[in-house]
Amino acid sequence: MTAEIPQWDVFEAAFRASPPGNPFTDVSFGATFRLGHRAVAVRGFYDGDDTFRVRFMPDTPGEWRYETSSDLEALNGLTGSFVCAPPLPNTHGPVQTTGTFHFAYADGTPYRPIGTTCYAWTHQEDALEEQTLRTLAQSPFNKIRMCVFPKDYDFNRNEPPRYPFEQSETGEWDFTRFHPAFFRHFETRVRQLRDLGIEADIILFHPYDRWGFARMPAEVDDRYLRYLVARLAAYRNVWWSLANEFDIMDSKTDTDWERIFRIIQQEDPCQHLRSIHNCVRWYDHGKPWVTHASIQSSDLYAIPRWRDQYRKPIVVDECCYEGDIHWLWGNLTAEQMVNRFWIGTVGGGYVGHGETYLHPEEILWWSKGGVLHGGSPPRLAFLKQVLDAAPPGHLEPLNDRWDHRVAHIGEEYYLYYYARRQPAQDLYHLPETHAYQADILDVWNMTMTPVEGRFRGKFMLKLPGKPFTAVRFQRVAL
């Protein structure tokens, strides 16, 4: 009986072989998947215990056939097939860019990222990681930034339970031999995020390292990238973030980063989203191999300017963190975090959350996950509710870069945000040819108050006269 795999799910074929030498470096293995005249080449990988695997995410219904290729006779020329069936309910495929500045799933459903950061959550004990997953399941977040390699930094000094490479008795890494259990664990967490509807923004490199993973030779980096892509590219919720704060990784040059981007492009048959994150010096997000800008900045008002500059989606993945630690970037109030999300939203971009409240066991969400303690997540859930209720399309900033407190979706929808301002009334200019209903939104107290009447053209509207006020106009029948 031919296996059935839902569209955008993972097909996996496993084969047994006992190669001489090092199976990670001495054996080439992959498969070509065919549907009609279409052929997709996919790299396979060694998963330990004399087992080789190849994974594939079918994106088109029909009967797919595959044939393996290898320089090891036992793995060469093996064939098989499966049927790609309709997708499972609420499955929309991988996220792609759309309309220059925005995102959508493969089936066209809009995707509006409301992300968070938990850099090292997959490098903790199982109980804490499972707690993180439970927290995420109850949160508004639909994207999470997370590192492949363990992290060494304040509030994150614990030794991880597992490592990506085999280690000798003297403690030296064997960079020619991966530790499959490490990668199996990591991909399990990616799969669990997928099942929660959360995109995994996977950070491939970072500078906060005491093990030597940030300074591996180029040939080791390249082998690691090919192995990781072979294992993970079939998961629809994967994004590739080449680095966290690439510009302070002094062991790599811009030429290295271009090579790494090129490897990801060549190796990933699904062409998942690709970005790179800065500390001080920015990468040129206009380069063709970058799909969207991943930015660290607290200047949310600059989003329209960055849109004009890069002509790509703008994601401020790090706008500082809500918390109370001593680092300047880690003690925003909840009000500041919520305000930055709304400024970024009406500016036509997307903003990322993070939380850094002191904890007696140094379990900070931004590093290790666990539970959320801050006041912003429920308010971000309210923002998500507002965005989900908007008509089809994407919010675009209406004003020029000097005043972008209003966004719109064509002439169907207008969203004004007053941030720290507190007018008791304001003058509005809406199209004369349509009528609109109005709602006053208190984005901190999470309330929506309908305004009596219908509005069109030029008019004055009374407002609460306090900060954290938004006004929503939705087109109705005349």
Domains of the chain plus CATH, in order, are 3-85 (2.60.40.10), 95-388 (3.20.20.80), 411-476 (2.60.40.3950)
Sign of the C-alpha dihedral, residues 405, 409, 411, 413? negative
Residue ranges in 196-333 assigned as alpha helix (H): 218-232, 254-267, 303-310
pLDDT reported for residue 151 = 98
Residue 56: strand, helix, or coil? strand
| Per-residue model confidence (pLDDT) at position 171 | 87
How open is the CA angle 158-178-125, to the nearest 5 degrees? 30
For residue 168, the model assigns a pLDDT of 87
Q: pTM value?
A: 0.97
Mean pLDDT, range 437-442, rounded to an integer? 98
pLDDT given at position 399: 72
Instruction: Kindly indicate the confidence band of residue 404, based on its pLDDT and cuts at 50, 70 and 90.
Output: low
CA–CA gap between residue 95 and residue 104 (Å, rounded): 6
Mean pLDDT of 131-141: 98
Residue 39 burial (CB count, 10 A): 12
Q: Is the pLDDT of residue 337 over 90?
A: yes
Percent share of the chain, pLDDT over 90 = 96
Cβ neighbours, 10 Å, residue 4: 12
pLDDT score of 461 more than 50? yes
Q: Flag whether pLDDT at 400 surpasses 70.
A: no
Q: Which pLDDT does position 401 carry in this prediction?
A: 41
Do strands 79-85 and 3-6 pair parallel, antiparallel, or not at all (unpaired)? parallel
Mean pLDDT value across residues 53-70: 98
Per-residue pLDDT at 386 exceeds 80: yes
Query: If pLDDT is split at 50, 70 and 90, which confidence band does 2 have?
Result: confident
CA distances 320 to 110, 133, 206, 297, 346, Å, are 26, 23, 18, 8, 19
| Mean pLDDT of the region 332-340 | 98
